[in-house]
Amino acid sequence: MQVSVTPQVSLTRIETRPGAVVWLVRHGETEWNAQRRLQGQHDSPLTARGRQQALAIADLLARTLGRKAPVRLMASPLGRTRATVAPIAAALDLPVEYDPRLVEIGLGAWEGMTWDEIDAAFPGALDGCTPHERFFRPPGGERHEAMMARLGNWLGDIDGPTIAVSHGFAGRVLRGLYGGLDPLAALDLPQPQDGVFRLVDGQMEYLRAMMEEAAGMEEAAGP
């Protein structure tokens, strides 16, 4: 699969197998999210809000699917997705399968930095690039076509109901591949952290979790 990051990029759609349903979750808010730092394949802990978001999503999925549902639970192996999937696994009483194809875009030397810090440390690196293209500029970073290839490979393997806990940028690319969207337009999709995208029969819908219930669950859990 060869896809450019120019406006002339071609459309790509991954056909899922019969019976495939994907419940796509983004990890909860992290400290670097709150500080507007690029995370890529590095990690920072979930904030208190991020932990509440994970609990709320776990409650939503448990109420929707029930415990021990015939569903695969998969996640990126990065720390923030592990912290998000843990309450989901507990609520549904399911084992977790960690798949490296679900990791976030690799941002090389820029991971952990803000855009202002990048501009100061790498003079001219952001000159002339669009808000989308800058994610594919870092030294040692991942290219757009490589990211689409690994996520498309994962999506094409799904053959039944599956919960996938992944990341913001990766989730945009996955939804773009599922819906056959222009790859650059897909990068404009929202990337909320308080609910689940349900992908089924070529359609996508967003189910928002109830944060009020999650706050109560966090308090009940104790220190």
Q: Which of 15, 97, 104, 205 is catalytic?
A: 104
DSSP lists the bridge partners of residue 163 as 23, 73
b vs e for 21-48, b when ≥16 Cβ sit within 10 Å of the residue's Cβ? Answer: ebbbbbbbbbebbeeebbbbbbbbebbe
Sheet strands (E) in 131-194: 161-166
Contact 13, 51 (CB under 8 A): no
Q: Which of 27, 111, 142, 167 is catalytic?
A: 27
- Rounded to whole angstroms, how far apart are CA atoms 124 and 53? 38
DSSP string covering 15-27, please? PPPTT-EEEEEEP
Contact 194, 29 (CB under 8 A): no
How long, in residues, is the chain? 223
Active site residue 27: yes
Active site residue 205: no
Q: At what angle do helices 79-92 and 48-65 cross, to 10 degrees?
A: 40
Active site members: 27, 104
